[in-house]
Every structure is written in structure tokens, then in C-alpha cells.
Amino acid sequence: MAATTDSGAGLEVHNPLQSICYKRGSLQLLDQRKLPLETVYLDIQHAEDGWSAIREMVVRGAPAIAIAAVLSLAVEVFNLDDFNGTSDDAASYLFKKLEYLVSSRPTAVNLSDAATKVKEVILKAAATASDAKKVFQAYIEAAENMLEDDVASNKAIGTHGAIFIQNQLKDSDRLSVLTHCNTGSLATAGYGTALGVIRALHTEGVLNRAYCTETRPFNQGSRLTAFELVHDKIPATLVADSAAAALMKDGQVSAVIVGADRVAANGDTANKIGTYSLALCAMHHKIPFYVAAPLTSIDLSLSSGKQIIIEERSPKELLNSHGGLGEQVAASGISVWNPAFDVTPAELISGIITEKGVITKINNGDFDIKNFVKRAAGQSVA
């Protein structure tokens, strides 16, 4: 992966909140490890570059991971000049590459969901295409459509969330919202999920203040969310992860809004480590706790969060400063447990905000997610 910066003469200048810069045959990913002090884009030329960028946290956030993965393969096949196989060979080639890309981050369901959807496109193309080139073309177009759809989805999440929260909360003209990790433009193809709701509330003129946690150990909150909030001139305050409970106790938080890497059929939600703690604190202080995520984050194959695979990260992220990239700060020889995510039980969640509306609890106190997804897809509900 070759690196370029936006400050160099003759280089294309990108929006600093644009994590994915794509045009057919070319993909650049903003190296989020270097934010907010440096703006560096890495050239992604093939699936192996995409896998490394995802695994090494160059790009992160469930929606952005999915888009970056499929686009990295789109760039590879667009520039593939020496492929001599049949249409079936092209389909097999793409399938193997997609399976490889899915292995980069196992917890975010968006990635596997995207792979499943483009595999369907590949199979249809292979069944009718006369040569490999047409299969590759169908794949590239499908990947590009995902990029466009993600931005539209995020804006719809912001709109639905802002309207719902204003209708649910007292004093909705002066809301203060706490968020965790980074769920904005940098975690998606643009605008954001939970941070998109905060953007929408700010646009409506009802947001008094946004609070963001630092989100250790990789500091996505202090480095990325704070960067986005300052860039958009949204009134915001950064707090230590351990200060969130005290902030709630002081009456400074109207609602908590977080993103999701995977939502089980019962509403249990996997998100960045520390989310579960915030949900417990919110329930104790009688503060609504919302999850904002696209429907692609819902995994109906999992009955509960107990089945969600939780990725464990390198011990270096705790042992060294700067999320493992800096000098050692912990005692040598100490053992480390570093899960990237935790699971928040559905009973702690007040609502799940999607691009098709808000999933709320029915009379028995459970989420009716399966039927919501069916209705969103235009299917009949028994």
C-alpha cells in the first residue's frame, strides 16, 4: 500500500472526513491511525491491500469495512489484464477473494452481508455471461452501487433518529447526547450512523451538546469522533471513558447513541468494547440508550448475542501508547485481555434506529426484529 498526503503538490485533495476515495480502477483509503494530526491516504490496488487495511485499522467502522473490502476487489479485477479463464473461473476467483476479505474482521456482519449480496450478482452474471470480463464488470457495478447506497442509508438513519428522539424526550429542544467510539463519516461511506443522528439533531437546532468518549485503547473517540465534531462545528466535549457514569449522574446526558457491528435477531448488539458499560450506566440513571445501524448490521441467523464472535486484538494496543503504535507504557510480563467488542443485551436498549425507521419493543418488551426486516423488504408478515 503506497501512501500519499493531501499536502503534497499535484496530489488530489480530499475532504478530510472522506475515508473512502474511489473512482473506477482506483481506491484510496484514509489512514485513520494517523488522524487527527496527519492526513494520509493509502493506495489500495488489490484485495490483499484491502485485507491489510481493514485488519490493521487503516479503515474501521462496520459499514466502511464492508465498502472498502468490496471496492478493493473491484479495483483488482478492473486492472486485471491477464485473466484467461471462463466466466465460471471468474466467479470462482471472486468467491475466493471475497472469503479471504471476510476473514479480516469477523465481528462486523456488514462485511459478510456485503460478500453474500455480491456473490448473488456474480452467480447470476456467470450463468449468462459469455466471458470472464462480463462477470468482473457485473461485480464492479455491484460494488459501486453499495458505495452509493451506504451514504443514502446513513442520511436516512440520521433523519429517522432525529425525529424519533425529539418525539420521545422531554425538553427536546436542548438535547445533550453521549456517543461512543466513531460512527461518523470516517466509519462509513459518508455522514455516519450514530454520529449521523447527532449531525441531524444539530441541523435541526435542538442539540445542546455532544459528548464523546475517548474509547480506549485505540482512541477512536478522541482521535476521530472529536475530529469530526470539531470539523462540523458541533458543540462537543470529550470525556474519559471512566467519566461517563459521573456525567450521567450530573444530569448532563439526555440520551446515549451508539453504533453496532452486529445485531442478533433478539436485539442483542455487539459494538466497540465499553458499550455494555455505558448501557448499564444509562439504565441505572434512566437515560434512553439507542443503537443506530443499517439493516445490513442485523444478523437474523443469530438468535442472541451469545453467538456473536468477538474479535480479540493484539496485546500491544494495551501495552503501548497510541493504540499499540507508540512506546511501551505497561509493565513487561503482564498478561492482556483485549476484546475489540462487547455485547449489550437487548433489555438495555431502548430502540434500534435504521434507515427504514426505528425498531421499538412490542408489548412483551421484546424487539420484533424479524418482522421489521420483512416489512422493510416488502415481504408479508404472518
With cut-offs at 50, 70 and 90, classify the pLDDT of residue 151.
confident
pLDDT tens column, 23-49: 999 999 999 999 999 999 999 999 999
Q: What is the Cα–Cα distance from 271 to 256, expressed in whole angstroms?
A: 13
Please tell me the pTM assigned to this model: 0.88
d(CA 28, CA 209): 33
For position 4, what pLDDT does the model report?
63
How many other C-beta atoms lie within 10 A of the C-beta of residue 366? 12
Q: Which of 49, 150, 261, 299 is catalytic?
A: 261
- Write out pLDDT tens, residues 157-191: 999 999 999 999 988 889 999 999 999 999 888 88
SS3 of 82-94: the string is: CCCCCHHHHHHHH
Counting residues of the chain whose pLDDT is more than 70, the rounded percentage is 96
Give me the chain's average pLDDT, please: 93
pLDDT attached to residue 171: 81
The CATH class for the domain spanning 20-149 reads: mainly alpha
178 closest CA partner among 268, 263, 339, 288: 288
In whole angstroms, what is the distance from residue 294 CA to residue 318 CA? Answer: 30
Does residue 5 carry a pLDDT above 90? no
Domain parsing of the chain, residue ranges: 20-149, 172-377
Are the CB atoms for 293 and 259 separated by under 8 Å? yes
CATH assignment of 172-377, among 3.40.50.1220, 3.40.50.10470, 3.20.20.80, 2.60.40.10? 3.40.50.10470
At 95-135, the pLDDT tens digits run 999 999 999 988 878 899 999 999 999 999 999 998 999 99
Check: CB of residue 260 under 8 Å from CB of residue 270. yes
Q: Are 222 and 214 in contact (CB under 8 A)?
A: yes
Note the pLDDT tens digit of each residue in 276-314: 999 999 999 999 999 999 999 999 999 999 999 999 999
Q: Is the pLDDT of residue 10 over 50?
A: no
Indicate the residue type of 291: V
Dihedral sign for Cα atoms in the order 28, 29, 33, 35:
positive
Concerning whether 261 is annotated as a catalytic residue, the answer is: yes
Q: Is 191 helix (H, G, I), strand (E, B) or coil?
A: coil
Q: Is residue 376 exposed (0-12), middle (13-18) or buried (19+ Cβ within 10 Å)?
A: middle
Neighbouring-strand partners of residue 256: 178, 289
